[in-house]
A and B are shown apart, each in its own frame.
Chain A
Amino acid sequence: MADTIILEVERFHPERDTEPSYQSFEVPLRADWMVLDALNFIKDQLDGSLAFRWSCRMGICGSCGMTINGVPKLTCETLLMDFAPGPVRVGPLDHFPVVKDLVVEMDDFMAKLQKVRPWIVRKDDFKPQREFIQTPAQLEAFHQFSLCINCTLCYAACPVSGLDSNFIGPAAIALAHRYNLDSRDQGQEDRLDIISQHEGIWDCTVVGECSTVCPKGVDPSLAIQQYKLTATKEWFKSFLLPRGKN
């Protein structure tokens, strides 16, 4: 087997280029190297101007998400050897504006995330004197959705996110659902008003790729479909018992 592999990296300079192009780099093919290691090799040894994000190198921070051979993946968890003999095509995450090379603009995602209030909302004057005890069943209800690391691979895999920039998107809805299912939270009603709009859950056409590409095993598609059922039930309740709401 060859001891090197070709990496075709998407390059874009915001002050020079009108659109991205690919640049090829020959990097060592080592059994224990991830794609991120190859990108760091390029940055350190071949071309210091290459821009990309990374931090923890262990699939926790979610900052090194990129499109590898057309599939959104965390580069720190993707073995270079899996693509031998190559070439490996690395690009920025799809459906996001490209700031430079492999770095994408996350402002829109951050705004959407904030909109769904992904934190514990209390409506009463609750001042905990000790930890809020939850049963294993109560924890199990939201646990898988709490594993989301905001890597936005699900947005890159979702064609609806690409076609409709107003779509709130899989991760934000999954995180909203996580707090809705939390026994400590009282913000379900506020979130439902935001998420049950057309740009929320009803924009989703169940492609299901968000759940397939998630590196943490979160199932955003399930969260969205569960939310659809909840929204439908709430609509029927408000329709049949219009005065039932306080």
Chain B
Amino acid sequence: MPQYTTFQPKPYRPRMSAYWYLDQWHYLRYALRESSSFFVAYFCVITLIQIATLKAGPTHYAHFQALMRCPVIIILNALALAFILLHAVTWFLLVPRVALRQVLNRPTPDLIASTPNFMVWFGATLIVALFILGVF
């Protein structure tokens, strides 16, 4: 019988923490970007409810407006707005970077690649703002 034992390495297999996104700021930023989709869905539901109450008549719409004035809803909407801005900015920075490179076939700085998206966004915001202010 040999007087030695063969080397039997047992590699250590690290497991990722359930809170891995708290380890570094860029992971947290990614987690926030992904979770912002929840608030996009929330605003879509609010808009659908608004349209439904508008269709149902003035009494229903007045109830909807009263609900929207509730402090809890205002805070929730403010939070949702912050997340939606984060969602829009991060995706506007990402999408054209890939799409433009696909067309131009060369590296394009993120900000230059994203500029058309931001311009369309600000243009649309301006039109909506002028509409609300009664310019049109």
Contact = CB atoms under 8 A, between A and B. Distances in A.
A20 interface: yes
B14 to A, nearest CB: 7
Determine which residue in B97, B98, B102, B107 has the highest number of CB atoms from chain A within 10 A of its CB, and name it: B98
Nearest to A99: B11
Interface residues of B, number: 25
Interface in B11-39: 11-14, 16, 20-21, 23-24, 26-27, 30, 34
Contacts of A209: 26-27, 30
A141 B16 contact: no
Contact of B12 (A98, A137, A219): A98
Contacts of B94: 206, 208
B60 interface: no
Determine which residue in A15, A71, A159 has the highest number of CB atoms from chain B within 10 A of its CB, and name it: A159
Given A14-B10, A20-B12, A141 B105 contact: yes
B104 to A, nearest CB: 11
Interface string A187-210: 000000000000000000111110
B55 interface: no
A159 B107 CA distance: 25
A226 B101 contact: yes
Interface in B34-54: 34
Contacts of A99: 9, 11
Contact of B102 (A14, A163, A226): A226
A17 interface: yes
A229 interface: yes
Nearest to A163: B16
A222 B101 contact: yes
Contacts of B30: 159, 205, 207-209
A95 interface: yes
Contact of B23 (A20, A70, A141): A70
Contacts of A205: 30, 34
Given A14-B9, A99-B9, A140-B106, A159 B16 contact: yes
A87 interface: no
Interface string B120-133: 00000000000000
A222 B98 contact: yes
A116 B23 CA distance: 32
Interface string A134-174: 00010011001000000000000001001100000000000
Contacts of B23: 70
Interface string B77-97: 000000000000000001001
13 contacts: A14-B9, A14-B11, A15-B10, A71-B24, A95-B14, A98-B11, A98-B12, A137-B105, A144-B107, A159-B16, A205-B30, A219-B107, A222-B97
